[in-house]
Structures are given as structure tokens and as C-alpha cells.
Structure 1
Amino acid sequence: MKNKIIFVLSLLFGLMFINAGLNKFFFYMPMPENLPDKMQKAMTAFTEIGWIMPLVGAIETLGGILIIIPRFRALGAIIILPVMVGIVLTNIVQDSSGLPFALVLSAILIVIMYQNREKYAPLFK
């Protein structure tokens, strides 16, 4: 039962990140119109840089795919971790309306990483 719950959480988490990553390439989801001014300026800056959004999109897509596959779930979680930290910090500093959702995603990532903790042990030796 525990493995099924982890698989469902990983599947939903991975699909959300795949969707977010592909959106950075194909722009099929419109930006919300009620974004605060601070957040609009930050998003404009990211898109003007040119290479950041495709890089983040590729990382989100790759990490999402890897999290869905049980064998590569630990690697996918490590790949997604810096993006998730950025999402949480952006929601704390820029606009806190998305913070509850970001914290739920962070909790799912922590659960996934905890389930794979033995695979991370060599990193800390």
C-alpha cells in the first residue's frame, strides 16, 4: 500500500513538472492576469534573459520524467530540488498566494527523497 501511495504521489508530481517544463517551450498555458506587479517584473526579466526559461523547462521536464520512473526517482528528485527551492523562495519573497501549493509540492518531494535516502548516503560519506 505504501509503495502505491508513493507511486501515485510521484506520478502526479512528475506530471505537474513535465507540464510546467513543456509550457516553458510551447507556451500553451496563459499567464494569470492578476499577477502582482513584482511577479510580472520578475517573469519579464527571466524571459528577457533568454536562456533561463528553456533551461528551467528542460530541468523540470527531465526531472518530472525521472521521478515517474521508480528506478530513477532518486535522481529525478535531486534534479528537481533546486527548482523546488526556487519556487518556494519566489513564493515567499514575491507573491505568497501560491505558497500553500508550493509547500505541498515541497512536502511531496521531501517524502520522495526520504523514501530514497539510502541512495543518497554515498553523497554524505
Structure 2
Amino acid sequence: MNSKLTLALRLLLGLILLVFGLNKFFHFLPMPLMEGAPADFMGALGKTRYMFPLIAITEIVAGVLLIFNKWTGLALIFTAIISVNIILFHLVLAPAGIALAAIVAILNVILMYANWNKFKTLF
């Protein structure tokens, strides 16, 4: 795969993760109002008082690792876990926000394919 394309996709995914991870701490992006099951789910995660910080730190660490091209394999594994949960949340509870979730998942799959030599031993 073209190294410039891979670089651009890696930086894009890293920036997305970094921005949304930091947003969980600093609330600089407006959050859509949720009702029903999505609000209940987010409320339950919030009541644990550890889940949102854990998700945010994981996103920030993965984003920084991707931006600086360090431990890319580990960062993509973290991102895969995050991507699956984002996709499932939007498929099951809030389909309106599936577009960004799909972008993150697609970027993750493309980058895992581009770095497949780092994952061969896992499979």
C-alpha cells in the first residue's frame, strides 16, 4: 500500500481518536441529546465513574501512538476494540451516528491490512 496514503490514514485515525478521547475530559464538542436506551446505556457507563475515563485514556493513547507511529500494532488493536464497540452501539442503540463509527472502523481495517506483517503471529 502507498506509504503516503497509509501515513495520511494513520494520522487521520490518530487525530479522530485523540480529539474524541480529549473531548471526554474537556467537553469542547457538543454532544447530541440522547433519549431512551442510548441515554440509559450512557448513564449506566457514567455511573461506574471509571468507564468513560478508561475509554478516553485508551482513545488518547491509541491516537498518540498512531500519530507518532510508535507501537502501531498495539494502537490498532486498541482501536479495533474501540471500533467494534462504537459500531455495535450505533447499530443497536443509535443508528443516526453510524457514519463516523463506520469511518473509524474502515480506517482501522485498512491500517491493519497495511500493517498485516505485525499481526501475522496473532493469527
Give the TM-score, by structure 1 length. Answer: 0.89
**5+ long unaligned stretches in structure 1:** none
Equivalenced residue count is 123
TM alignment of 1:43-122, pairs within 5 A: 43-122=42-121
How far apart are 1:109 and its partner, in Å?
0.4
Equivalents in 1 of 2:47, 2:30: separation in Å? Answer: 17
How far apart are 1:71 and its partner, in Å?
4.1
Equivalents in 2 of 1:13, 1:65: separation in Å? Answer: 10
Runs of 4+, deviation exceeding 6 Å: none
Equivalents in 2 of 1:2, 1:36: separation in Å? Answer: 43
- Per-residue CA deviation, residues 62-81 of structure 1 (Å, 9 max, x unaligned), is 01111123342222101111
Partner residue in 2 for 1:17: 17
**5+ long unaligned stretches in structure 2:** none
How far apart are 1:37 and its partner, in Å?
2.3
Equivalents in 2 of 1:2, 1:123: separation in Å? Answer: 24
Residue 25 of structure 2 aligns with an amino acid whose one-letter code is: F
**Are residues 86 and 15 of structure 1, via their aligned partners in 2, closer, same or farther at CA, if it must alter by over 3 Å?**
same
C-alpha contact 1:36 1:95 (8 A) present in aligned 2: no
Give the TM-score, by structure 2 length. Answer: 0.91
How far apart are 1:52 and its partner, in Å?
0.3
- Per-residue CA deviation, residues 35-76 of structure 1 (Å, 9 max, x unaligned), is 342212211111111000000000000011111233422221
Identity value in percent: 31
Segment of structure 1 superposing worse, 84-93 or 97-106: 97-106
The structure in which a higher percent of residues are helix is 1
2:36 paired with 1:30 = no
